[in-house]
Structure 1
Amino acid sequence: MLRLPINSLSLQIKIINEEIFFGPVITVVTNLSKEGSIPPSLSDFCKEMHDYCCEIGGLFFVTTFKHWNSQECFGYVIKDEDFEYDHVPLPNVIHNRVHSRKKENEAVFEKFEEDTSSLGIPFFNHRFLDKWFVHEHLSQYEHLTPFLPMTYYLQNKEDLMNALSAHRSLFLKPINGSQGKKIFKVQERSGTYLVDCAETGEREIYDNFTKLYKNLYPKFKKRNYLLQETLSLKKLDNRPFDFRILCHRKQEDKWGITSMVARVSKKSSFVSNLSQGGDLMPIKDLLQTFYPHREMKHLLELLRELSLEICHCLCAQNEGLYGEFGLDLALDEDGSLWLIEVNTKPSKRFFLTENGQTRPSTKALVRYCCRLSGF
């Protein structure tokens, strides 16, 4: 029996060996908010996915790995502009938007992965990729190393001491961090150490290394950190900026650029994350304040080529399937490009269109789901 939760529904048809298949059935798997609802950070995105599936023919729903049952599937479908919990068919493809690394390591999530794999259901984006893994993986490619800042895994006091001796200024970043949280900037100036916090904007000063490390050590005990050389980034009105490049897989070995925007940090901040008060700006509007048209065009092409190459290299010899990356790249004062970070689950809270149209990134994800499911 075909279990459909919606009375009126447009689906596509495919015929294989005289068998008729209806679909695609696309689901996003995530974890619910404390109130038991779809997180606000994902609700608009999920409604977009639903609307575009209706437009091209397909069923979309949201589920959680804790509600998963391969014998009887349940999920949240949109009815009368709101999500309702109901019976749903088994999906043809699953997009992973679980927003907790801790939950991805739980046994129930691993069981969910095993079940979907045994049923032959394509599952992407496989897992969060931590910052150290990304750096280690991309460092294998000689042609990419000029774009990677010097980065070290922080294991002990000597690592911090040696890195500060080599660079004088460092970023301390949680290996599993996101949204610019828990990031610190540490500078050494004639034996004095300055520590700036990205979240609070507060500065602390220590007159020797021992006091510095004693203060920072409790943070290192709670989570793993890496050390990264501080780059002298270009600034707009004395505000550092970077670029968010959104990339989506089109075919097995082909990626495409879906959007490119500039993010300008708030005043007196050294991170440009929108969640930390950064501002969005059209990338061409920003670049034309620094470069003539021909140079700007060349730089945009380099950004595209570098982004696609990073996506290709990240997926080579890497476990699991990925269909979306959000790359953060930046320009230093000399005009050199640097890779700052790779996001496997880029934020869906921002970049919404003002006229209510479906974002190109959402369309790209639905099309990729259709491709994976054979529709």
Structure 2
Amino acid sequence: MSIDLQNHHGPLIGILAGKGKNQSVIGNGPFFRELQREILKNGGISVVFTPDDIKEKTIAGVIYSPELDKWTPVTCPIPHIVFNRVPTRNLESTESFHKAFLFFQRRNIPFFNPGFLDKYSLFEWFSHDPILQPFLPDTIKITERTAFLRFLERYKTIYLKPAQGAKGVGIYKLCQQNNQTVVLFSLKDKHIFKDIQTFWKEWEQPLLEKNYIAQESVKPALIRGKRYDFRILAHFTEEGYQVTGAGIRQSGDQEITTHVLNGGCIIPYEDIQMEDHDQFFALVAERAGKILSKELGFFGEFSIDAGLSEDGKYVIYEINSKPMRFDEISIEKKRISSLVHLFIHLANRENLPSNNP
């Protein structure tokens, strides 16, 4: 099937990507190709473009042809809906991105997922919600020595996370021993400090400069002696926010993160599925989606990193506004289908979600 943009009458879906140093479009190419295949099956068409490609009445971008397995440069009308897949926080912080956001906002064009999330802002929003608050580990923003020392003294074991980090990068586990020795665990090694003052003297600058948070360490439930987390995918539907799929990620040699890129492994959710888990997933997806859309603007897709403590309590660790690919083929296939259904739905300007949780 060749693509004739001039005679195409279905909805035009814009996928906002980034621009690299050599002016080439950067983003998740395989993901964009899968979306295009499904969009074409549903009567639409997608164009990938960057914030710098927007003109007053047109955009310049590239369109993927599955038949030719080729990307073709095009100039086309303003899309009916824009899916934000700008790949990095740095690119989202540029003036051109903010101008692009305002461009579509002023034209009342749905802007699907406003941007990356800040971990501490997320904690503040959720902690004010009576339904989600009980699932949150205690968390503080690291801004000065006294409050940080008090937090470590209270919990003895805490996690240090960059508020704007992703994929488990920059996460540490900090433990205060009975002899006041402090041990810092990274993904690959550990460092021992004679006391917390020594640790703070060395780490104050990076913790403050990179906007770290400190989070209570929750003793996790184990499978075969190792911790595991839930990874839950959610989308907005005509019935509200719903769970699209769920997977299990188990830690490898280190216990800091279960990310597969850091040695974690995949366990089929069906191995431990139970009604209580399903009800928790559905509750968090519905509440989190409404709160995110209220605070930042419409969220159509996000994933949830959650877990279970050793005493059987559910924990929300993180929300991801731009989920990575799910390794479970059935979930990823359903994800593509759910996204395209939502694109077509929103392109018709119908039933945008309420901003009231």
* Common fold: TM-score over 0.5: yes
Q: SS state of the match for residue 88, structure 1?
A: strand
1:52 aligns with 2:29: no
Q: Of the candidates 13, 16, 22, which is equivalent to residue 29 of structure 1?
A: 16
CA drift at 1:311: 2.1
Q: Is the 8 A contact 1:9 1:59 kept in 2?
A: no
Aligned to 2:334: 360
Q: Is the 8 A contact 2:155 2:216 kept in 1?
A: yes
Q: SS state of the match for residue 138, structure 1?
A: helix
* Alignment RMSD: 2.2
Distance in 1 (alpha carbons) for counterparts of 2:103 and 2:112: 14
1:241 aligns with 2:228: yes
Q: Of the candidates 278, 285, 309, which is equivalent to residue 307 of structure 1?
A: 285
Q: SS state of the match for residue 58, structure 2?
A: coil
CA pair 188-358 structure 1, distance change in 2 beyond 3 A: closer
1:194 aligns with 2:191: no
Show CA shifts across 1:37-82 (max 9, x none).
4546x11110111000111111111111122223331111113112
Show CA shifts across 1:231-290 (max 9, x none).
111122332110111000113x711111110111112232011222222221121x16xx
Aligned to 1:133: 121
CA drift at 1:83: 2.0
Q: Of the candidates 4, 19, 27, which is equivalent to residue 7 of structure 1?
A: 4
Distance in 1 (alpha carbons) for counterparts of 2:54 and 2:225: 50
Distance in 1 (alpha carbons) for counterparts of 2:15 and 2:45: 11
Distance in 1 (alpha carbons) for counterparts of 2:25 and 2:229: 30
CA pair 10-351 structure 1, distance change in 2 beyond 3 A: farther
Q: Is the 8 A contact 2:142 2:148 kept in 1?
A: yes
CA drift at 1:310: 2.5
Distance in 2 (alpha carbons) for counterparts of 1:156 and 1:148: 22
1:326 aligns with 2:312: no
* TM norm structure 2: 0.90
Percent of aligned positions that are identical: 25
Q: Is the 8 A contact 2:172 2:256 kept in 1?
A: no
Show CA shifts across 1:333-366 (max 9, x none).
1111000001111113x42638xx9711111111
Distance in 1 (alpha carbons) for counterparts of 2:52 and 2:292: 29
Show CA shifts across 1:160-189 (max 9, x none).
201111100000011101000001110000
CA pair 44-10 structure 1, distance change in 2 beyond 3 A: farther
Distance in 2 (alpha carbons) for counterparts of 1:281 and 1:88: 44
Q: Is the 8 A contact 1:9 1:54 kept in 2?
A: no
Distance in 2 (alpha carbons) for counterparts of 1:162 and 1:358: 43
CA pair 215-353 structure 1, distance change in 2 beyond 3 A: same
Distance in 1 (alpha carbons) for counterparts of 2:329 and 2:276: 27
Aligned to 1:343: 320
Aligned to 1:268: 254
Q: SS state of the match for residue 23, structure 1?
A: coil
Q: Is the 8 A contact 2:138 2:215 kept in 1?
A: yes
Aligned to 2:193: 206
Q: SS state of the match for residue 257, structure 1?
A: strand
Q: Could you tell me which runs of 5 or more consecutive residues in structure 1 were left unpaired when the two chains were aligned.
A: 12-21, 289-295
Aligned to 2:207: 220
Distance in 2 (alpha carbons) for counterparts of 1:223 and 1:324: 27
Q: Is the 8 A contact 1:48 1:358 kept in 2?
A: no
Q: How does 1:13-162 map to 2 (within 5 A)?
A: 22-34=9-21, 36-39=23-26, 42-79=28-65, 80-162=68-150
CA pair 351-37 structure 1, distance change in 2 beyond 3 A: farther
Distance in 1 (alpha carbons) for counterparts of 2:22 and 2:96: 21
User: Please, which moves more after superposition, 301-310 or 271-280?
Assistant: 301-310
Q: Is the 8 A contact 1:26 1:91 kept in 2?
A: yes
Aligned to 1:170: 158
Aligned to 1:232: 219
Aligned to 1:18: none
Distance in 2 (alpha carbons) for counterparts of 1:170 and 1:139: 19
Amino acid across the alignment from 1:74: A
Q: Is the 8 A contact 2:126 2:133 kept in 1?
A: yes
Q: Is the 8 A contact 2:292 2:299 kept in 1?
A: no
Distance in 2 (alpha carbons) for counterparts of 1:150 and 1:340: 11
CA drift at 1:6: 2.7
CA pair 97-71 structure 1, distance change in 2 beyond 3 A: same
Aligned residues, how many?
A: 345
CA pair 352-10 structure 1, distance change in 2 beyond 3 A: farther
Distance in 1 (alpha carbons) for counterparts of 2:123 and 2:160: 15
Distance in 2 (alpha carbons) for counterparts of 1:265 and 1:38: 34
Show CA shifts across 1:296-321 (max 9, x none).
23332233223322223333x32321
Amino acid across the alignment from 1:353: I
Distance in 2 (alpha carbons) for counterparts of 1:277 and 1:213: 29
